[in-house]
């Protein structure tokens, strides 16, 4: 986390009232140093090279020779690697999109707390990414029933077994798949209780569920209707916070491409797309890959994992590779009896049966994603 006086801010804003509003908010705190307010977008990139701000704030509706969207692109392509916070108004809604150079969005009117908190989160998130301090993996599938939640749970446990401090997020907010799988009581705190304005590890102890397998789990809300209380901005702030405290984060991501789901996917380093030898799953997976491409996800962000790889159902590996446009990076064999029994007991099969083929496959996935060497098979307790 940056020190309280280390956030150096450059602002591109041509509306005097908004400029004054920002100045007034920043005058009442000491955490942000305002370097300059520029009303000419054509001067911003050169000023950023000279002043070296920690964050640049750009009004989406900036007018002149270089308008707001153009300036955002110029900053993204400048090579400066400075995070950009975009100001907008309710009539022009905008979503966070790092691929387009939009690291965060502030909608007018906003408070001084929101301003400073957003700047701090954006800078800390960028620093954590640059340092390679944390790896965030979203386990995703556009179709249910492919084993996504089971893979996410066991993958996170494997990462913990490798000595990597790991957090697991139950991103299936509506139904809380991990809460059900692990038989967690309904009164255990959830993502709604996370203090996203603070970063001390002590703040998390009362919120994260400590699983007996040794990983910390941020659970979904205990009731279906409470899922609506979590929005994409909450997701962004949550992952930004957890990045500073863990070396690996695994997200069990929802199957629907909602704003919240895209919040999880935008914030991760790798989308691990689970596919099976099922025509509907393959069709949906291809359709979603086209969406990922259209919103600017780089090809290296998407990894494919074939679950139940030894149950082809008449579809060959080459046919699947042609459909996906590439060979999947990972395979996990099926072991229905072992997996179902472990799930019914709320146990990771990588712990209950560490020498099983399915456990070895998951362990290889964890090692590859983390870039670590082969570790001894954990002893069964």
CATH of the domain at 99: 3.40.50.2300
- Position 376 scores a pLDDT of 47
Look at residues 131, 163, 181 and tell me which one is the last residue of a structural domain: 131
**Residues 229 and 350 placed together within one structural domain of the fold:** yes
Q: How many structural domains is the chain composed of?
A: 2
**Residues 188 and 79 placed together within one structural domain of the fold:** no
Look at residues 71, 103, 131 and tell me which one is the last residue of a structural domain: 131
Least confident range from 44-53, 157-166, 194-203, 345-354: namely 194-203
Query: Cα(62)–Cα(222) distance, rounded to whole angstroms?
Result: 43
Q: Tell me, what CATH number does 143's domain have?
A: 3.40.50.300
How much is the mean pLDDT over the chain?
A: 86
381 or 296: whose pLDDT is higher?
A: 296
User: pTM for the full model?
Assistant: 0.68
Length of the chain: 381
Q: Is the pLDDT of residue 294 over 50?
A: yes
Residue 361 pLDDT class (50, 70, 90 cuts): very high
**Residues 229 and 241 placed together within one structural domain of the fold:** yes
Per DSSP, the three-state class of 302 is: strand
DSSP state of 185: -
**Residues 153 and 125 placed together within one structural domain of the fold:** no
* DSSP secondary structure, 91-142, as one string: TS----BGGGTB-EEEESS--HHHHHHHHHHHHHHHHHHHHT--EEEEEE-S
Residue 130 burial (CB count, 10 A): 9
Per DSSP, the three-state class of 186 is: coil
**Residues 164 and 218 placed together within one structural domain of the fold:** yes
**Residues 106 and 228 placed together within one structural domain of the fold:** no
Indicate whether 322 belongs to any domain. yes
Closest CA to 288 of 273, 269, 270: 273
* DSSP secondary structure, 27-49, as one string: HT-SSEEEEEEES-GGGHHHHHH
pLDDT digits (tens, 9 = 90+) for 253-291: 999 889 889 989 988 989 999 999 999 999 999 999 999
pLDDT digits (tens, 9 = 90+) for 152-172: 999 999 999 998 899 999 998
R_g (Cα) of the chain, nearest Å: 22
In this structure, are residues 88 and 61 in contact, taking their beta carbons and an 8 Å threshold? yes
Domain containing 47 equals 7-131
pLDDT digits (tens, 9 = 90+) for 178-226: 888 888 888 888 888 876 555 455 566 678 888 888 889 999 888 888 8
Q: Is the pLDDT of residue 1 over 50?
A: no
**Residues 177 and 271 placed together within one structural domain of the fold:** yes
In this structure, are residues 44 and 38 in contact, taking their beta carbons and an 8 Å threshold? yes
Share of the chain above pLDDT 90, in %: 45
Residue 130 pLDDT class (50, 70, 90 cuts): low
Indicate whether 301 belongs to any domain. yes
Q: What is the four-CA torsion angle of 266, 53, 14, 70, rounded to 10 degrees?
A: -50
- Position 328 scores a pLDDT of 92
Q: Mean of the pLDDT values across residues 68-80?
A: 89
**Residues 59 and 76 placed together within one structural domain of the fold:** yes
- Position 232 scores a pLDDT of 80
Q: What residues have CB less than 8 Å from 169, skipping those under 6 apart? A: 191, 217, 218, 238, 239, 242, 249, 250, 251, 252, 264
Look at residues 75, 102, 131 and tell me which one is the last residue of a structural domain: 131
In this structure, are residues 287 and 142 in contact, taking their beta carbons and an 8 Å threshold? yes
């Amino acid at each position: 986390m940056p020190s309280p006086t280390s956030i150096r801010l450059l602002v591109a804003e041509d509306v005097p009232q908004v400029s004054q509003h920002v100045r007034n908010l920043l005058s009442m705190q000491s955490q942000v140093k305002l370097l300059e307010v520029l009303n000419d977008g054509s001067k911003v990139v050169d000023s950023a090279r000279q002043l070296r701000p920690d964050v640049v704030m750009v009004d989406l509706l900036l007018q002149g020779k270089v308008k707001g969207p153009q300036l955002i692109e110029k900053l993204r392509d400048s090579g400066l690697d400075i995070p950009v916070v975009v100001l907008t108004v309710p009539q022009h809604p905008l979503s966070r999109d790092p691929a387009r150079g939009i690291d965060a969005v502030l909608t007018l009117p906003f408070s001084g707390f929101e301003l400073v908190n957003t700047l701090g989160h954006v800078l800390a998130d960028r620093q954590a990414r640059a340092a390679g301090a944390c790896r965030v993996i979203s386990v995703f599938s556009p179709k249910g029933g492919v084993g996504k939640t089971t893979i996410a749970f066991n993958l996170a446990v494997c990462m913990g077994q490798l000595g990597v401090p790991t957090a697991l997020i139950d991103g299936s907010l509506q139904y809380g798949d991990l809460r059900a799988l692990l038989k967690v009581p309904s009164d255990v705190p959830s993502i709604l209780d996370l203090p996203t304005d603070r970063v001390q590890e002590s703040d998390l102890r009362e919120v994260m569920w400590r699983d007996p397998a040794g990983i910390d789990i941020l659970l979904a809300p205990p009731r279906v209707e409470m899922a609506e209380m979590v929005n994409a901005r909450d997701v962004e702030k949550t992952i930004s916070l957890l990045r500073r405290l863990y070396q690996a984060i695994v997200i069990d991501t929802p199957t629907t491409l909602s704003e919240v789901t895209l919040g999880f996917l935008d914030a991760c380093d790798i989308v691990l797309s689970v596919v099976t030898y099922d025509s509907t799953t393959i069709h949906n997976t291809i359709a979603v890959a086209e969406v990922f491409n259209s919103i600017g996800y780089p090809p290296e962000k998407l990894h494919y994992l074939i679950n139940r790889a030894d149950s082809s159902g008449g579809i060959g590996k080459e046919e699947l590779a042609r459909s996906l446009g590439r060979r999947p990076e990972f395979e996990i064999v099926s072991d229905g009896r072992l997996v179902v029994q472990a799930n019914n007991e709320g146990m990771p099969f990588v712990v209950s049966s560490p020498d099983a083929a399915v456990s070895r496959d998951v362990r290889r996935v964890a090692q590859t994603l983390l870039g670590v060497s082969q570790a001894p098979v954990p002893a069964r307790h």
